[in-house]
Every structure is written in C-alpha cells, then in structure tokens.
Amino acid sequence: MQKSLVIVLIAALVGAFVFFQFVNAASSVAFIAGVVTATLIFSFIPSSQSRASDEPYVGPTMTLYVGNLPYRVHEGEVKDLFGEYGPVNSVRLVRDRKTGRRKGFGFVEMSEAGAQKAMGKLNDYTFQERTLKVREAKSQESDSSDA
C-alpha cells in the first residue's frame, strides 16, 4: 500500500471518530464525513516531492553522451543514476529506426555542476554489468561544420 493512502485512511478513521463522538452522527455517516475531511485536507497540502521532480532545472545545463549502456535499460533507470549527482532535465536513449531496439547509448541533459560530478564518478562505472563511458556530448553544429 502507498504511504499516502495509509495516511488518508488513518485521517479518515480519526475524522470518523471525531464526528461520531461529538456530532452524534451514525457510524457510516461519520466515516464518510471523515473521508471527505481527510481528502480535503490532503488536497490542499502540496506534495513537495512530486513537484520538485516534475519541474525542469533552470540554469546552466550540459548534455552528456553516455555510451555502452545495457540494451535493456530504461530512461527512468538512467535518470535515477544521474540524478544522484544533480537535477536531470531529460534522458534520450537512441533507438534503431528500423528495428526500434536500443543502440546502447544515449544523452543526458542535466545541471552543469551535476554533469561535471557525474562525468567524474560515472565514467568507467559498472552499471548493470556494463562499463559506462560518459563524456560531454558534441553539439550537432560542430559536427556539420567539420565535414
């Protein structure tokens, strides 16, 4: 069970007890009133954890190239790994256009300070039995001017 659901149920039971004792309402009516009261209370309390992760980082960012990723890895796992070093704006794992299978590399956009830390810590780091290669990504503009 989720922690928030348990808290709402406990608050509903406490609310039902209060309504039952002090308002002399029937037990079912008291429980429903407790559920409504708990729902109203928790809908006005902001959830700081979900809001902080939904908002993208605003400030200097850097895009990292991440190579030698396991083919079965998902964006969320990579985001969690790099999120230990700073806020992550996006994760893009490259797929083959014809088959749709992952190619084993991707790009992580994150805060510049976090990216510097992540490059130092995660380059040559073993992740799901693969040794990661983490570098600053080259921009597409510099690639086209070299040709």
pLDDT of residue 73: 93
Q: Count CB-CB contacts under 10 A for residue 96.
A: 9
**What's the chain's length in residues?**
147
Between 95 and 27, residue with greater pLDDT: 95
pLDDT of residue 42: 67
Q: pTM here?
A: 0.60
pLDDT mean across residues, the chain? 81
Burial 56-76 (b: 16+ CB within 10 A, else e): ebeeebbbbebeebeeebeee
Between 124 and 3, residue with greater pLDDT: 124
